[in-house]
Chain A
Amino acid sequence: MYFQKKRCIAMLLAGGQGSRLKVLTEKTAKPAVPFGGKYRIIDFPLSNCVNSGIDTVGILTQYQPLELNEYIGNGQPWGLNKTHSCAQVLPPYERHDKKSGWYKGTANAIYQNIDFVDRFNPDYVVVLSGDHIYKMDYAAMMHYHEEHNASCTIAVRNVPLEEASRFGILNTNPDNSIYEFEEKPAKPKSTNASMGIYCFSWPVLREALLADEEDPNSSNDFGKNIIPNLLNAGHKLMAYPFDGYWKDVGTIDSLWEANMDLLGKDPAFKLWGDERSKISARNSAMPSSYIDTNAKIRNSFVAEGCEVYGKITHSIISVGCTVGEDAVVEDSVVMPGVVIEPGAIVRHAILGENSRICRNAVVGGAFAPGEKKQISVTAKGAVLEANAVLRPGDML
């Protein structure tokens, strides 16, 4: 079989369990978690790839892969199903030399798929996470990498100094070259936080992966092992400053916040975009949404296939949901297929796919300005009985 040489391919790490998303990822891999009414988290890095001219994407899966595999399918929604393009799902597998099995870490996941990367003989490999919400032109990052003749370029964003100790911090020279990497430093020297987005020259990464695999003490992780090892070996590593919107949606709070960031006349993160910044998703064949005479919808997104009879304020309503008469939904993320029965009240909540809030049940509560918001969550398919109460911060 003939494989076209590629200048750059992407490897998308989508195997994480996402345990901090709790009930939302009990049966779903984190990248397959719904976002923004009609998307899933993985649509963002995948669409970024396509918008950046990257047409070959390896997707490393491990945890609860069924739904994610189905969703990616042949890559058609992103235009990755052509003769010389692909969205290839790469699950762990058994190898003759036993250097295989479950992916031990992010670096090991790529190590086990060196053969896949080699087929395309790429100059550069972009390594991405499947749990970030942002729009980014990886081609611009690749040009920066090339221009600086770097071995590895890491996207960084400026974070407030008081929060810097929660991140992997890259200490840089004035020319943005990196001289030190510190994972969650107690006393951060800079505010350049790694975004977990890497551009490697493939020969350098390939060699580093082989060396890392030989080290029995390694945890086979990009942040903990590969990056420090490259620095120690004297490779040129560059920081690529990014000042657009970016959010790690690994927790209930951050997932809720990122959804809320879509709202408003001038939102923190704009879903709308031109052809070069469009986010694509697999579409469901649902009719348009019906908005009833008694419905009131303010500052909210409502996707297709919904029937709205109640009142929705400052919320995201995903495809195929029903909001019954006199129901109230405020400051909430309602995932696909949810039914909110008449009279139910939902505030500050994330309602998992196909969950049902029965008549007059109450989910979550209101918070005073400045008060720490506690988000209530329902699991996929959960049912909150009629008149029942799910308190602020509770899960069902």
Chain B
Amino acid sequence: MNVMGIIFTNDATLGELTNKRTMASIPFGGRYRHVDFALSNLCAAGVRHVGILSRHSYQSLINHIGDGEEWGLELEEGGLEFLTPYAMSTSHVYRGKLESLNNAMDFLEYGGDDELVVMIDSAVLSNIDLTHVLNSHVASGKDITVVTKAGVANGSKLLDLAIKLDENGEVADMLVDYAAPADYLASMDIFVVNKMWLIKNVQEMIARDKFHMDRDLVLGGWQRGKVSVNVYQFAGLAMYNESIEEYFSNSLSLLEKDVRQDLFYYNHPIYTKVRDRVPTYYGEDAEVENCLVADGCIIDGEVEDSILFRQVTVHEDAEVEHCVVMNDAVIGKGAELKYVILDKNVTVTPGAKLIGTRKNPIIVKRGETV
């Protein structure tokens, strides 16, 4: 089975964290970026031809992924392609996934012998065995397979696509951009389709000025009886990083062993760009409790219930609690941080005090000094 992967990188935003980067390049879990999960899932399923669709702010993403070497995608044939607006057939920035796929038609059409296409968004993180999804798609004989997760819908979380099944496991109802009740399954924004079917349907949709994948193709097609939908339910962990509050609480949930197990080891390793850093050094006065710590840090202060990315320096007498501290931060002597997200390269001056809340963590923008 020849399979092509497509990763959507900025169809959503995450407050100040997506100011100058795509959803896909948001740092997560100490050493990863969102896109690492999608790429590693594709890589583990043997997908060797991946297109990455971006519309803006993709510099950090290109820098992170490079030639795809870490995910086994630096190939003579197939491999990795960045599909940015100006690299595609039209030069305007697309409005929805269908339009972006239409813009990437060359990539789809010249995809060699690929028969199936897996499409993944970057805001829902999982460690999923996609071969099971692909097999389910083929066995179902349906037009499109939607990967879903039970227990996410709760009547208040806004879902891109929610599906209710009848007692036979067939689709009974579908809702788009709606806070569906708890008996609905939430889409994980992972879809499988036959490539030729996708090409035909994208072209027909665009011809009718329809560009929204969930609303126009899946929901609209199903309502008109034109698109048959296979629903795959994923039993593992699915992390929805769709708001700052979710991002923050999901980050801190990695301090639970089961969550780490499900996200980092469930089916396969998660690969990321290698940064050669020395191991982390804990000084004579370091107090580190309940933390996830990447390589290259130097810790002399107190850090509790926090995530430290690579190369973070915590000076003596600094107190860091319930924080997500991204790469290269320097936290000065005696500083006090609670419920704070420090974006990359932030400097916290000695004695500075920043106190947020669990629901509203303070975000310090990339490169700032506070």
To the question of whether A and B form a pair in one complex, the answer is yes
B293 & A289 in contact (Cβ 8 Å cutoff)? yes
Q: How far is the CB of B171 from chain A (nearest CB, A)?
A: 37
Q: How far is the CB of A322 from chain B (nearest CB, A)?
A: 11
B283 & A287 in contact (Cβ 8 Å cutoff)? no
Q: How far is the CB of A40 from chain B (nearest CB, A)?
A: 13
Query: Which of A265, A288, A297 is close to B29, meaning CB atoms less than 8 Å apart?
Result: A288
Q: Answer yes or no: B166 CB below 8 A from chain A CBs.
A: no
A287 & B276 in contact (Cβ 8 Å cutoff)? no
| Contact bitstring A290-332, B, C-beta under 8 A = 1, else 0 | 1111110111111110010000100011100000000000000
Q: Answer yes or no: A272 CB below 8 A from chain B CBs.
A: yes
A301 & B278 in contact (Cβ 8 Å cutoff)? yes
Inter-chain contacts of B260 with A (CB < 8 A): 287, 290
Total B residues in contact with A, Cβ cutoff 8 Å: 33
Q: How far is the CA of A38 from the CA of B264 in the complex (A)?
A: 20
Report, nearest first, the 6 A-B pairs whose CB atoms are least far apart: A288-B30, A37-B279, A303-B279, A297-B282, A271-B278, A301-B279
Q: How far is the CA of A301 from the CA of B296 in the complex (A)?
A: 10
Q: How far is the CB of B288 from chain A (nearest CB, A)?
A: 5
Q: Answer yes or no: A36 CB below 8 A from chain B CBs.
A: yes
Q: How far is the CB of B310 from chain A (nearest CB, A)?
A: 9
22 contacts across the A-B interface (CB closer than 8 A)? A37-B278, A271-B278, A283-B274, A286-B269, A287-B29, A287-B264, A288-B29, A288-B307, A289-B292, A290-B257, A290-B291, A291-B292, A297-B286, A298-B282, A298-B284, A299-B284, A300-B282, A301-B281, A301-B282, A302-B282, A304-B31, A304-B294
B29 & A302 in contact (Cβ 8 Å cutoff)? no
Q: Answer yes or no: A280 CB below 8 A from chain B CBs.
A: yes
A300-B282, A302-B279 in contact; A291/B269 too (CB < 8 A)?
no
Inter-chain contacts of A260 with B (CB < 8 A): none
B279 & A304 in contact (Cβ 8 Å cutoff)? yes
Q: Answer yes or no: B271 CB below 8 A from chain A CBs.
A: yes
Q: How far is the CB of B19 from chain A (nearest CB, A)?
A: 25
Q: How far is the CA of A292 from the CA of B264 in the complex (A)?
A: 18
B290 & A292 in contact (Cβ 8 Å cutoff)? yes
Which residue, of A291, A299, A302, A316, has the highest number of chain B Cβ atoms within 10 A? A291
Q: Answer yes or no: B255 CB below 8 A from chain A CBs.
A: yes
Q: How far is the CA of A327 from the CA of B289 in the complex (A)?
A: 16
Query: Which of A278, A298, A318 is close to B286, meaning CB atoms less than 8 Å apart?
Result: A298
Q: How far is the CA of A37 from the CA of B282 in the complex (A)?
A: 13
Q: How far is the CB of B320 from chain A (nearest CB, A)?
A: 13
Query: Which of A272, A278, A287 is close to B30, meaning CB atoms less than 8 Å apart?
Result: A287
B276 & A304 in contact (Cβ 8 Å cutoff)? no
Q: How far is the CA of A303 from the CA of B105 in the complex (A)?
A: 45
Q: How far is the CA of A316 from the CA of B278 in the complex (A)?
A: 12
Q: How far is the CA of A38 from the CA of B276 in the complex (A)?
A: 10
Query: Which of B264, B279, B280, B284 is close to A265, meaning CB atoms less than 8 Å apart?
Result: B284
Query: Which of B30, B257, B264, B283 is close to A299, meaning CB atoms less than 8 Å apart?
Result: B283
Q: Which residues of chain B in 258-276 are interfacial with respect to chain A, using CB atoms and an 8 Å cutoff?
A: 260, 264, 269-272, 274, 276
A288 & B293 in contact (Cβ 8 Å cutoff)? yes
Q: How far is the CA of A294 from the CA of B287 in the complex (A)?
A: 10
A38 & B272 in contact (Cβ 8 Å cutoff)? no
Q: Answer yes or no: B295 CB below 8 A from chain A CBs.
A: yes
A285-B271, A301-B280 in contact; A291/B290 too (CB < 8 A)?
yes
What is the chain B residue whose CB lies nearest that of A270? B278
A283 & B281 in contact (Cβ 8 Å cutoff)? no
| Contact bitstring A185-226, B, C-beta under 8 A = 1, else 0 | 000000000000000000000000000000000000000000
Q: How far is the CA of A298 from the CA of B280 in the complex (A)?
A: 11
Q: How far is the CA of A299 from the CA of B308 in the complex (A)?
A: 18
Query: Which of A290, A295, A318 is close to B292, meaning CB atoms less than 8 Å apart?
Result: A290
Q: Answer yes or no: A42 CB below 8 A from chain B CBs.
A: no
A contact residues vs B (CB 8 Å cutoff): 36-38, 76-77, 265, 271-272, 278-281, 283, 285-295, 297-304, 307, 312, 316-318
Query: Which of A37, A286, A295, A318 is close to B288, meaning CB atoms less than 8 Å apart?
Result: A295
> At the interface, is chain A mostly helix, strand, loop or mixed?
loop
Which residue, of B255, B270, B279, B293, has the highest number of chain A Cβ atoms within 10 A? B279
B255 & A290 in contact (Cβ 8 Å cutoff)? yes
A290-B260, A299-B283 in contact; A280/B31 too (CB < 8 A)?
no
With A301-B279, A301-B280 already in contact, 19 other A-B pairs whose C-beta atoms are closer than 8 Å: A37-B279, A38-B278, A271-B278, A279-B278, A283-B274, A285-B271, A286-B269, A288-B307, A288-B308, A290-B260, A292-B290, A297-B288, A298-B285, A299-B282, A299-B284, A301-B278, A302-B282, A303-B279, A316-B279
Q: How far is the CB of B321 from chain A (nearest CB, A)?
A: 12
A287-B260, A287-B264 in contact; A38/B270 too (CB < 8 A)?
no
Q: How far is the CB of B287 from chain A (nearest CB, A)?
A: 8
What is the chain B residue whose CB lies nearest that of A76? B69
Q: How far is the CA of A291 from the CA of B294 in the complex (A)?
A: 11
B269 & A285 in contact (Cβ 8 Å cutoff)? yes
Q: How far is the CA of A292 from the CA of B292 in the complex (A)?
A: 9
Inter-chain contacts of A304 with B (CB < 8 A): 31, 279, 294-295
Q: Which residues of chain B in 283-321 are interfacial with respect to chain A, using CB atoms and an 8 Å cutoff?
A: 283-286, 288-295, 307-308
A265-B284, A283-B274, A297-B286 in contact; A288/B279 too (CB < 8 A)?
no
Inter-chain contacts of B288 with A (CB < 8 A): 291, 295, 297
Q: How far is the CB of A215 from chain B (nearest CB, A)?
A: 44
Q: How far is the CB of A308 from chain B (nearest CB, A)?
A: 9
Q: How far is the CB of B340 from chain A (nearest CB, A)?
A: 18
A288-B29, A299-B283 in contact; A272/B294 too (CB < 8 A)?
no
B278 & A272 in contact (Cβ 8 Å cutoff)? yes
Q: How far is the CB of A328 from chain B (nearest CB, A)?
A: 15
Inter-chain contacts of A297 with B (CB < 8 A): 282, 286, 288
A265-B283, A297-B288 in contact; A283/B294 too (CB < 8 A)?
no
Q: How far is the CA of A77 from the CA of B276 in the complex (A)?
A: 9
Inter-chain contacts of A265 with B (CB < 8 A): 283-284
Inter-chain contacts of B271 with A (CB < 8 A): 285
Inter-chain contacts of B257 with A (CB < 8 A): 290, 307
B289 & A292 in contact (Cβ 8 Å cutoff)? yes
Q: How far is the CA of A300 from the CA of B283 in the complex (A)?
A: 7
Q: How far is the CA of A272 from the CA of B280 in the complex (A)?
A: 10
Q: How far is the CA of A312 from the CA of B308 in the complex (A)?
A: 19
Inter-chain contacts of B30 with A (CB < 8 A): 287-288
Q: How far is the CB of A76 from chain B (nearest CB, A)?
A: 8
Inter-chain contacts of A288 with B (CB < 8 A): 29-31, 292-295, 307-308
Q: How far is the CB of B36 from chain A (nearest CB, A)?
A: 10
Query: Which of B270, B280, B284, B285 is close to A302, meaning CB atoms less than 8 Å apart?
Result: B280
Q: How far is the CB of A292 from chain B (nearest CB, A)?
A: 6
Inter-chain contacts of A318 with B (CB < 8 A): 279
What is the chain A residue whose CB lies nearest that of B36? A285
Inter-chain contacts of A285 with B (CB < 8 A): 269-272
